[in-house]
Chain A
Amino acid sequence: MEDKIREIKVDYLARVEGEGRVYIKIRQGKVERVEVGIFEAPRFFEAFLRGRKYLEVPDITARICGICPLAYVMSSSRALEKILGINVSKEIEHLRRIIYLAEWIESHVLHVAMLHAPDFVGCENVFEMYQRYPGFVKNSLKLKAWGNRVIEVIGGRPVHPVSCRVGGFHRVIRKDELLPLLDNIDELKRRAREFLEFVLKLPMPDVRRDIEYVSLKGEEKYPILRGRIVSNKGLDAAEDEFENIIRVEQAPYSNSLRYKIKDRGTYVTGPIARFNNNYDLLKPEVREVIESHGYRAPLVNTYQSIIARAAEVYHAVLEIEELIREYKEPQYPYVEGEVKAGHGAAITEAPRGMLYHFYELDSEGYVVNANIVPPTSQNLAAMEEDLTHIAPILSEMNYEKAQWLAEQTIRNYDPCISCSVHMVKLIIDKE
């Protein structure tokens, strides 16, 4: 029999943040190799954080990612606050929630409208998308602009905002600064609903794979700043236990480390995991739209992550409105802690999923050790499993279509490759 080999290569993944490639080798219809390689250059954040003062850490780690800097600010601030014995006031937590939800809007809309939706309708890029669906693209950009505006008002600028710090904010953000953000709120809510409706009508590949979805669990509200780590397969752990429940691997073809749950295997973190694990905490208005289009939790494949993202955008708009109306200015902009030696870890929900930070400080507040685990690194192994799962479909398609579907499958994760090549202090896999 002829040895039928098919290689599918994507040398430079487009419409993602950062630099990655895909390589798939199929022999006689069977997958031999699937590699999601990251050639983004290493930057060694954890190495150069050593010796930096704790107050600098949120600003420095924000530079791991220009799309989700606030996620880095929030995870690092919370981990450091645990060391310094800081409990932020309700008002500060409230304001953090507003600015962080706004980052979800900015990041999700960018991904859904400009990077991912084009795959579902066969467009090469957002400019072509705009020719075919001008209403959707304009609507999306207005939502994205509003998310950025919320970040700018609270944080000074949308990318790498400057007002946040360990313990809170550098100055009190006044209620009269926030209220104008609600000037056109009814129009924005309508836009967010229409955005979700457009996504719910997209054609969805019919693929099913058994996946463990891991996210934080919200208590009263949809999770973003804190929560226990849970999954649809019974995982339930505190954030401090994270390094004990995961296993780290390095692949020769990739500058990013990858993660699995010990004794269980790959998992997916991100909007789809949050959605599946916290569906009842989404605003009723959001669930109503989803259910009227025949969907509900659990979403069954990672292509449907686009639905979770759009749902979170609508949810975030509704919740930000509520939070701004309820907001009371704090008496002090930040809480000072007691500088002392110690270590602390925290997880928050970045737009792309769980973002873990760990720090050890010396008695003067300078960093001794750091470990950061971004969501994209956690998802890399699952991306490869998704590709392995659809390999029979890929091997039957013409080359261009197979290449495109492979790319789309990676884009399901909204991979932030800049983040994934953040530098990780190692828990070495000795198996």
Chain B
Amino acid sequence: MRRLKVAVYKFTSCDGCQLQILNLEEELLELTEKVDFAMFYEARRDNKPGPYDVAFVEGSISTPHQVEWIKRVREESKIVVAIGACATAGGIQALRNWASVEEYKNYVYPKPEWIETLKEAKPISDFIKVDYEIRGCPVNKYQLLYFINQLLIGKSPTLPSDSVCMECKMKGNACVIVTKGIPCLGPVTMAGCGAICPTYGRGCYGCFGPMVDPKPSALAKNLVERGFSKRDILLLFKTFTGWSSAFRKVVEEYGG
């Protein structure tokens, strides 16, 4: 049987999502019988040229060079899968999109003129057609494995669409908003993590991005009514997936 020829790319990001592939550990060794990770700089120096069956893309687009490079990735790959909060929503570095990148450069570098970067950090789908998006900061490695296995048996992969609340209820957790008065984005955030934040005694911070058809403004209003400051509610929405269109609306409503 011909192995699935896979490429793994990194754009602007922390490496955590492609690390999840290596974190498959022994399952990764089994997977290599059916999958050829032909292009994977983090794992090999002998990278093979395209075309590829599937490209997994980590990171957002934030430099002029990357704008050109992502187009080549699209041309060389039958299926493009954006993985993680950076690739699907811009990631934490998209916070610059509400600020001046020139001021940021000056703040950080002694010679800002040597730094080449775009004004905004944006998700992959703003530049090319993306076939699938796997959410999370980082992606859940079992979701990744399940996704690959679905491709291997020739099925169109399915991904979660419910909220974190669903997973939280199934775990039998008491709601942290109701019982502890902790602000939580669970009601509007895509499932997939296993509701780990509420399970560990804190509120969800939305790292899987908005669920399908969320009501973030209603949640924000409710949290304000419960006594949380508008400033802190704004910050809660404005983190790892704040640039997603659903959460961005709240960020703009509460002062940008």
B66 with A157: CB separation less than 8 A: no
Q: Give the docked Cα–Cα distance between A158 and B207 (Å).
A: 15
- Nearest-neighbor residue (CB-CB) of A157 within chain B: B196
A252 with B114: CB separation less than 8 A: yes
A160 with B207: CB separation less than 8 A: yes
A43 with B93: CB separation less than 8 A: yes
Chain B residues 125 to 164 lying within 8 A of chain A, measured CB to CB, are: 137-138, 140
| Least CB distance, A283 to chain B, in whole angstroms | 25
Q: Give the docked Cα–Cα distance between A165 and B37 (Å).
A: 37
Complex contacts, A78 vs chain B, CB 8 Å? none
Chain B residues 54 to 102 lying within 8 A of chain A, measured CB to CB, are: 62-63, 65-66, 91-93, 95-96, 99, 101
B104 with A157: CB separation less than 8 A: no
A47 with B235: CB separation less than 8 A: no
Q: With an 8 A cutoff between CB atoms, is A8 at the interface?
A: no
Partner of A42, one of B91, B115, B202: B115
Complex contacts, A193 vs chain B, CB 8 Å? none
Q: With an 8 A cutoff between CB atoms, is B254 at the interface?
A: no
A47 with B99: CB separation less than 8 A: yes
Given known contacts A44-B96, A148-B23, is B197 in contact with A162 (CB within 8 Å)?
yes
| Least CB distance, A167 to chain B, in whole angstroms | 13
Q: Give the docked Cα–Cα distance between A268 and B207 (Å).
A: 35
Partner of A423, one of B108, B121, B239: B108
Q: With an 8 A cutoff between CB atoms, is B20 at the interface?
A: yes
B201 with A56: CB separation less than 8 A: no
Instruction: Say which size band chain A's interface belongs to.
Output: 35 or more
Q: With an 8 A cutoff between CB atoms, is A337 at the interface?
A: no
| Least CB distance, A229 to chain B, in whole angstroms | 24
Chain A residues 102 to 130 lying within 8 A of chain B, measured CB to CB, are: 110, 114-115, 124-127, 130
Chain A residues 43 to 65 lying within 8 A of chain B, measured CB to CB, are: 43-48, 50, 52-53, 56, 59-60, 63-65
Q: Give the docked Cα–Cα distance between A48 and B111 (Å).
A: 19
Q: With an 8 A cutoff between CB atoms, is A144 at the interface?
A: yes
Partner of A171, one of B110, B200, B240: B200
B138 with A159: CB separation less than 8 A: yes
Given known contacts A124-B44, A125-B46, is B14 in contact with A66 (CB within 8 Å)?
yes
Partner of A48, one of B23, B46, B92: B92
Q: With an 8 A cutoff between CB atoms, is A429 at the interface?
A: yes
Chain A residues 260 to 276 lying within 8 A of chain B, measured CB to CB, are: none
Q: With an 8 A cutoff between CB atoms, is B122 at the interface?
A: no
| Least CB distance, A195 to chain B, in whole angstroms | 14
Q: With an 8 A cutoff between CB atoms, is A18 at the interface?
A: yes
B16 with A69: CB separation less than 8 A: yes
Q: Give the docked Cα–Cα distance between A12 and B95 (Å).
A: 28
| Least CB distance, A403 to chain B, in whole angstroms | 9
| Least CB distance, B108 to chain A, in whole angstroms | 4
Q: With an 8 A cutoff between CB atoms, is B45 at the interface?
A: yes
List chain B positions with a Cβ less than 8 A from chain A: 10-17, 19-20, 22-23, 25-26, 28-29, 32, 37, 41-47, 62-63, 65-66, 91-93, 95-96, 99, 101, 103-105, 107-111, 114-115, 117, 121, 137-138, 140, 193, 196-197, 199-202, 205, 207, 232, 235, 239-240
List chain A positions with a Cβ less than 8 A from chain B: 12-19, 39-48, 50, 52-53, 56, 59-60, 63-67, 69, 110, 114-115, 124-127, 130, 137-138, 141-142, 144-145, 148, 155-160, 162-163, 165, 169-171, 248, 250, 252, 255, 257, 333, 404, 407, 416, 418, 423-426, 428-429
Closest 3 CB pairs of A and B: A66-B16, A171-B201, A125-B44
12 A-B pairs (CB sep. < 8 Å):
A14-B47, A17-B19, A42-B62, A44-B108, A46-B108, A144-B25, A156-B197, A157-B196, A160-B16, A171-B202, A250-B109, A418-B13
